[in-house]
Amino acid sequence: MGGTFEPLAGGGAAVALDEIEVSILRSLAVQLLELIGPGPQAEDADPLAALFAEGPTEAPSDPALARLFPDAYGGPGAPTEGPRAAETKAHAAEFRRFTENDLRTRKREDALEVVRTLDALTPGGDGGAVLELTGTQPLRWLGALNDLRLTIAARLEITEDDEAGVLFRLPDSDPRKPMVMAYLWLGGLQETLVETLTP
């Protein structure tokens, strides 16, 4: 089972992780949480008010956050000038205002689930452990793995999967190499987790 998810009898998925892999996954999830930002601060806040709270209207300036929270309208081929461009921008801002807070909450909860499940692992004699995901955990992990890959891809300026292959051939002395290896490893985890959940 080393390094790839396999289906659990009765549903769910399991993967064997060594001590270093657990540490890397946890560190990446914590960094993702820091990037996404804190959740609602006031514990006694009115839940109804929070439900209708408006979010930002502008796309994030950080490329990684822009990849995690893209505009719902526009994109490649969309007009950049004139009335159509202004209309597209207005629609994107309106959509973002009512959806980004919920999307941030979901992404934060996915990353927190990764941290919690890793913290609950009981190491074996060799320092490794078998991570078992059941219930909603596999879907939370899928979301977090995807967000981690999007974030790393933004930092590496990867736009297409074939670019990752070019980066894979970077010399070991290149400072991007560890991030490229993490990107490819997370992709393998994500792919095998999807396969375990596909009937």
Look at residue 42 in the predicted model and tell me its pLDDT.
45
d(CA 57, CA 54): 9
Most confidently modeled range among 17-21, 60-64, 139-143: 139-143
Look at residue 164 in the predicted model and tell me its pLDDT.
62
The more confident residue out of 67 and 92 is 67
Of 67, 77, 92, 94, the closest CA to residue 153 belongs to 67
Of 117, 122, 199, 184, the closest CA to residue 153 belongs to 184
The model's pTM is: 0.83
d(CA 181, CA 18): 16
Most confidently modeled range among 43-57, 124-138, 153-167: 124-138
Look at residue 138 in the predicted model and tell me its pLDDT.
97
Neighbouring CB atoms inside 10 A of 25's CB total: 24
Tens digits of per-residue pLDDT, 3-47? 799 999 888 999 999 999 999 999 999 999 999 988 655 455 666
Provide the edge-to-edge strand list for the sheet that holds 13-17.
6-7, 13-17, 129-133
Tens digits of per-residue pLDDT, 86-133? 776 777 677 777 778 888 999 999 999 999 999 999 887 776 899 999
Which helix or strand (DSSP H or E) is residue 151 part of?
Answer: helix 137-156
Of 117, 115, 143, the closest CA to residue 130 belongs to 117
Task: pLDDT band for 70, please (50, 70, 90 cuts).
Answer: confident
The more confident residue out of 130 and 84 is 130
d(CA 69, CA 80): 20
